Amino acid sequence: MSNSLSKIQYCSKPTRDEIDMLILLLNYFYGDYTQKIVENLNLDDLSFCYSKKTKRLRAIMYRNEMFAFIRASDFRLIPHIPLAILLHKVIPFPKHRIVVINEIVPDIMGSHTIFSKHVIQGDENIKPFDEVLIVDEEDNLIGVGRAIISYEAMITSLRGPAVQVREKVER
């Protein structure tokens, strides 16, 4: 079991109410078009994992892989690559995306930070601490991360970090 799951007591198959809660979380953070994700999942492969101490939802597993994590401080849905791939398919461009220069993609694969000077386009509604999909100029998914600054600051700034890369797509 990974370190992030070490504090989780048990995982169980979700009830209808829990699936509805997942749909609400996806809709709230990523828009109404994300409901298609849950409709296309095999619900038998979905597991909800809970904290030992608080009994609150902490992680969602799909086919024994981390699908999403729930941040304890604000109940924010943090996507991992399996969910990010599905989000990338259903969310229209450029929503929830940061587009980086193609030449920098190999460097991103070995790094944990994307700098403002490498961001060329994205969703104008991105705020600090939003979870974003990181894509190249052809809208190929590179990874997921957390915006450090707003989209406006990313585009206008010539230096400084813009996105903290959380996880990358294996190539």
Whole-number Å distance between alpha carbons of 117 and 115: 6
From 3.40.1550.10, 3.10.450.90, 3.30.420.40, 3.30.70.20, which CATH number describes the 3-89 domain?
Answer: 3.10.450.90
Structure-token pair, residue 120:
């060329």
* Predicted pLDDT of residue 6: 54
pLDDT for residue 145 is more than 60: yes
pLDDT for residue 1 is more than 50: no
pLDDT for residue 5 is more than 70: no
Report long-range pairs for 49-55 (Cβ below 8 Å, ≥24 apart): 49/5, 49/8, 49/10, 49/11, 50/8, 50/9, 50/10, 50/11, 50/12, 51/7, 51/8, 51/9, 52/7, 52/8, 52/9, 53/7
Which CATH number is 93-168 given?
A: 2.30.130.10
Span 24-57, pLDDT tens digits? 999 999 988 888 898 888 989 999 999 888 888 8
SS3 content of the chain, % helix, strand, coil (to 5): 35, 35, 35
Structural domain spans, the chain? 3-89, 93-168
Whole-number Å distance between alpha carbons of 40 and 42: 7
